[in-house]
Structure 1
Amino acid sequence: MAGEDTAALLRQPDAPKRATLLELLLDVVYVAALALISMRLADDVNWLGAARVLVLLMAVWWIWSITALLTDFYNPEQLGIQLVVAWAMFGSIVMTAALPHAFRQQGWVFAGIYVGIHVGRGIVLVALLRGHEAQARAARFLLWFVVSGVAWIAGAFLPSPMRLALWAVALMIDYVGAALRYPTPRLGRVPLYQYDKASEHLGERYQQFIILALGDIILVPVVQNDGRGFSTERLGGLLLAFATMLLLWHIYVYRAGAFLQVAIRRGPGRTTRWAPYTHMLMVAGIVSTSAGFELVINGSRSRAGLGWVMVVVGGPTLFLIGRTVFEYEIFGRFSWSRLLWLVVLVGIAPLLVSPPLIVAAAVTGVALLGVGLSDAIRAKRMSAPGGHSTRS
């Protein structure tokens, strides 16, 4: 039987639901990482650049997501778990510094740290949980990250196009393995009841990350200011960025402050398994939106161009898709008003190629305002007698 010290590593049902200060400190590292990724996208607006940015973003997001799951399943007040989180934080700092060089000669730094974070965490947990049934869970995670790690390390020493392809394969292993519950020889899959142990703490962690990430919509264009001062158009772009940030916050949080908490109480297992993927879409949308406003405020084109429009309009579109799919996976229903506005955004995008980019940003902002108003109207109807207050 496992000793009391080993059993204490697991989060207890009556444990505090609030995030620890160490977890919040970890999130700060990712604000910088997302900002750098947004800047990279703004500097390289083409299909190849977008593919590279997506690979980098998915890698960075997966470290945060697995670490959030770690601190929800295990007790973050235990020294051993705190050391694992601190290792993830240090590795994330190095990865962030290596982001601009990931597809250059020093790509091995980015890949090596990514693998080191996941494999190192697995080794430590397997050692700490010796004799406890939770050791099998840690072993499953470890095996899958070792497999994907081979592709990560091999790709780091290949030319850039082949590196991109092999790293994409590695990410597919990571993401698909999690979706399949890490099937492992002799150990099988992670039991569903372990996902059902998810607490409201996990919902709070996702909310905190999204809120911090939204700040990059203002941070990136301001930090990247090229020193030309403020024109009327640049000031208008900054106001649009601020308004867009608030609208995305409203869409995510309004009647969703409890949305994620309600979802976890109703179906913790399903929420835990789907939240990383749907929130990945929302984070990708925020990164694209941040890059878009850097182009709006600091760009110099008289006409937008298709690539720039796709960045500006595509960001909020991805965010809305992620939010809509997550609601469907949890409650089995679509928000039809959001779907309608998504169709409007996609349909109007080709018409925004010729005007200045700020026009595309303004039209997108109007669409987001429409989403927010539609949500408010629907919420008011649901709160009326005979409505269903759990709808969002």
Structure 2
Amino acid sequence: MTHTPAKRPWYRPMVARQPDEPHRASTPLELFFDLCFVVAVAQAAAQLHHDVAEDHLLHAVPSYLMVFFAIWWAWMNFTWFASAYDTDDDVYRITTLVQITGALVLAAGVPRAFADADFTVITIGYVIMRLALVAQWLRVARTDLHPGRRACGRRYAIAITIIQVGWVLRLALPDSLLVPGLLVLVLAEIAVPIWAERVAETTWHPEHIAERYGLFTIIVLGESILAASVALQSAVDEHEELGGLLWIGGAGVVIVFAMWWLYFDRPASGLLTSMRVSLFWGYGHYLIFSSAAAVGAGLAVAVDHETHKAHLGGVGVGYAVAVPVAVYLLSVWVLHIRPHQQGLIVVAYPVAAALTLLAPLTPAPVPAVAVAVAALVAVTVVAAHLESRPSAGTR
């Protein structure tokens, strides 16, 4: 007797999935979504690397933060929506692929945004992603069995659509109003979930959300390794003196490995205890994702400086690595450590961040940053072993 696989429907009602659903793991479509989105992350990091190496800091940092917001916000909204309403029917898959297409369009516009402050292509890609999500929310508004969640879906669809009109109209604003217009639209985007969820909270799966964020953190850290490796390979091919490059390469590996260790040192799913806490945790990952990608750009700048291609001074090069690492450490501390831990480990994170910011004042800033984060990993390992040791009263 042969087994006939179940046929996937082309359309099914969007009924909220249960938050305690067992064995809820990321799907192949979600993983594909992440891999395509990291193309845009890589483009943003590459342009940041180029501008920082040219000492265009006042242009590089705001441009990077604006571009990364579009990437992160679209990714995060899909992630939480999928946790609640992944039906895996044909319409859902096609709509998700449209979102991925928007991410690729956005990635294609990143160089022009950095070079000419022209956000037209990025805006088109972003609007494609967001309107595809509107189509999904309209399905929720039509088919969810819960009246409150249907109303929530309508709120999401209406608010997101109005804001996308605002993004398109922003392209016609005079230069003096572009930044104020951006800030207004960003605040409006961030406020949408807070407003929509007031009528009824959508369901979400804590383990699934924690896994999705963790997987994207891994992908972004991998992109940093790749960016630094490509810069190092190019430098090695062109120069015979490899001593300084090897130090940067080795220190860069230690830094990224330590960043991975610190993020995954303790499971995050238990932290997501309410919608309010989860929103803060989810929003806070903007800093984790953007700083993790920026570390790769900083390491590439350090390689350029070693090969005399960068126009940035030695201290500035050190801070190109130290600042994103410090932001990453403090973000992990705020989201994962400070509210839920006690003792030495709570103090160790800000101390390590402070030492990281002092590292550029040393003769070897990148290795000094590596020492600081490696020491922090050592502290977390010791703290974990002390916590697991049985007390005298339980022996």
Same fold (TM over 0.5): yes
CA contact (8 A) 1:107 1:156 kept: yes
Unpaired segments ≥5 residues, structure 2: 1-10
TM-score by length of 1: 0.84
Partner of 2:334: 325
Change (3 A) 1:321 1:147: farther
SS at match of 1:191: coil
Partner of 1:261: 269
Match of 1:48 among 54, 59, 66: 59
CA contact (8 A) 1:73 1:198 kept: yes
TM-score by length of 2: 0.83
Partner of 1:75: 86
Match of 1:146 among 161, 174, 193: 161
**Once the 2 structures are TM-superposed, how far is the Cα of residue 290 of structure 1 from its aligned partner?**
0.7
**Once the 2 structures are TM-superposed, how far is the Cα of residue 310 of structure 1 from its aligned partner?**
2.5
**Once the 2 structures are TM-superposed, how far is the Cα of residue 190 of structure 1 from its aligned partner?**
4.5
1:88-107 matched pairs, under 5 angstroms: 88-102=99-113, 104=116, 107=119
Change (3 A) 1:159 1:37: farther
RMSD of aligned alpha carbons: 2.7
- Asked if 1:10 is matched to 2:22, the reply is no
CA distance in 2, matches of 1:124, 1:88: 11
Partner of 1:173: 188
Structure number with greater Rg is 2
Q: Report percent identity of matched pairs.
A: 20
Change (3 A) 1:161 1:314: farther
SS at match of 1:14: coil
Unpaired segments ≥5 residues, structure 1: 388-392
Partner of 2:255: 244
Change (3 A) 1:221 1:159: farther
Change (3 A) 1:337 1:105: closer
CA contact (8 A) 1:214 1:245 kept: yes
Change (3 A) 1:329 1:130: farther
Partner of 1:211: 218
CA contact (8 A) 2:26 2:211 kept: yes
Partner of 2:376: 371
SS at match of 1:215: helix
Task: Specify the code of the residue in structure 1 equivalent to 2:67.
Answer: L
CA contact (8 A) 1:72 1:198 kept: yes
1:147-162 matched pairs, under 5 angstroms: 147-158=162-173, 162=177
Partner of 1:35: 42
**Once the 2 structures are TM-superposed, how far is the Cα of residue 275 of structure 1 from its aligned partner?**
2.5
Change (3 A) 1:305 1:150: farther
Change (3 A) 1:107 1:212: same
**Of 277-286 and 219-228, the range deviating more from structure 2:** 219-228
CA contact (8 A) 1:18 1:201 kept: yes
Change (3 A) 1:129 1:149: closer
Deviations 1:285-313 (A, max 9, x none): 11221111001112325984454333210
1:349-368 matched pairs, under 5 angstroms: 349=359, 351-352=361-362, 355=363, 359-368=364-373
Match of 2:195 among 182, 191, 194: 182
Report how many residues are paired: 364
Task: Specify the code of the residue in structure 2 equivalent to 1:33.
Answer: A
SS at match of 2:282: helix
CA contact (8 A) 1:234 1:298 kept: no
SS at match of 2:142: coil
- Asked if 1:121 is matched to 2:169, the reply is no
Partner of 2:97: 86
**Of 209-218 and 305-314, the range deviating more from structure 2:** 305-314
**Of 5-14 and 52-61, the range deviating more from structure 2:** 5-14
CA distance in 2, matches of 1:160, 1:234: 42
Change (3 A) 1:14 1:276: closer
Change (3 A) 1:160 1:10: same
Task: Specify the code of the residue in structure 2 equivalent to 1:123.
Answer: A
